[in-house]
């Protein structure tokens, strides 16, 4: 194991069946393998379960506070509530719109509806047509965010730094996009809408329409593939940079350069670490924003 690690400079950011901890704690914590080599349990699997449980605990408690009818108080709870409301009001609703839903102008969705004693309007309490996509967008965002943030804790790691994890998220998004489009405009209408309307002679359309459809279909696959690659590359690159900067300390140990390199490396790591916190939020937002755009395009093909 040690020889393999020495040959692989990326082993600190890869998935593994051990948690690497300081030497005074044993150096490595091996993960029990109840299923043997046929189904290995890795640290990224465990961290994804941890992320899921944290989401469940945080938002179940937050939902209970909201359902009580009382204003949510406390910086911790307001932090999560503010993010959820931002995604709803500034991303999902304006981007997806109302789709094919039609509302009577007198049904309470007027421009300036009355407000109750808590400052909430009846329209705000009613269900917006785009809100049906909120469970997926919220779950995806907070899952990615917490997975990213787990990488900021020493000796853990970011599951989103693995292409299999981000690939699974991208494939799930693709299924949601296709399902949304087929549900909104019908199976035939969704696949037909991949080709934009073209004012061309019939004889030319026979050749052009199939070719354009294939290009649009491939483009649909590529767009979701880019979702996976972008998230994976940004998270893995950040951790790799931190590992390289800290590696300078080990490489110069026992030389006069150590006293100059060590402080510079530590300061550089702190700076990159702060940048990583920003990237953790940014990449989660970028992923769900693009997912929302794709869902909107499927729900509103015209």
pLDDT digits (tens, 9 = 90+) for 122-178: 444 557 888 899 999 999 999 999 999 988 887 788 899 889 999 999 999 999 999
pTM value? 0.81
pLDDT value for 126: 59
pLDDT value for 11: 59
pLDDT digits (tens, 9 = 90+) for 246-299: 676 666 777 777 777 777 777 777 777 777 888 889 999 999 999 999 999 888
- pLDDT over threshold 50, residue 118: no
pLDDT value for 24: 73
Rounded CA gap, 102 and 265, in Å? 59
pLDDT value for 225: 93
Q: Are 239 and 174 within 8 A, CB to CB? A: no
- pLDDT over threshold 70, residue 187: yes
Neighbouring-strand partners of residue 29? 19
Rounded mean pLDDT, 19-27 = 72
- pLDDT over threshold 60, residue 4: no
pLDDT value for 268: 74
Cα atoms found within 13 Å of the Cα of residue 293, Cβ hemisphere only: 10
């Amino acid at each position: 194991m040690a020889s393999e690690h020495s040959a692989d400079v990326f082993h600190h950011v890869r998935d593994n069946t051990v948690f690497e901890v300081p030497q005074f704690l044993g150096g490595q914590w091996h993960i029990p393998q109840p299923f043997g080599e046929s189904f290995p349990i890795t640290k990224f699997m465990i961290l994804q379960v941890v992320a899921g449980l944290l989401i469940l605990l945080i938002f179940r408690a937050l939902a209970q506070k909201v359902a009580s009818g009382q204003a949510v108080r406390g910086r911790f709870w307001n932090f999560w509530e503010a993010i959820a409301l931002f995604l709803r009001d500034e991303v999902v609703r304006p981007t997806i719109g109302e789709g094919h839903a039609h509302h009577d102008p007198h049904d309470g969705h007027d421009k300036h509806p009355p407000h109750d004693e808590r400052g909430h309007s009846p329209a705000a309490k009613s269900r917006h047509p785009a809100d049906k996509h909120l469970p997926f967008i919220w779950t995806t965002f907070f899952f990615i965010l917490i997975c990213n943030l787990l990488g900021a804790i020493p000796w853990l790691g970011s599951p989103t730094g693995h292409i299999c994890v981000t690939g699974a998220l991208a494939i799930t998004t693709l299924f949601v996009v296709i399902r949304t489009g087929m549900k909104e405009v019908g199976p035939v209408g969704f696949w037909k809408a991949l080709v934009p309307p073209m004012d061309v002679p019939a004889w030319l359309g026979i050749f052009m329409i199939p070719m354009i459809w294939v290009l649009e279909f491939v483009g649909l696959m590529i767009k979701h593939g880019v979702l996976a690659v972008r998230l994976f590359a940004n998270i893995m690159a950040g951790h790799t940079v931190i590992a390289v900067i800290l590696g300078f300390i080990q490489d110069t140990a026992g030389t006069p350069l150590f006293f100059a390199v060590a402080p510079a490396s530590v300061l550089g790591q702190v700076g990159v670490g702060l940048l990583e916190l920003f990237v953790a939020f940014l990449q989660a937002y970028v992923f769900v924003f693009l997912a929302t755009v794709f869902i909107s395009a499927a729900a509103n093909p015209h």
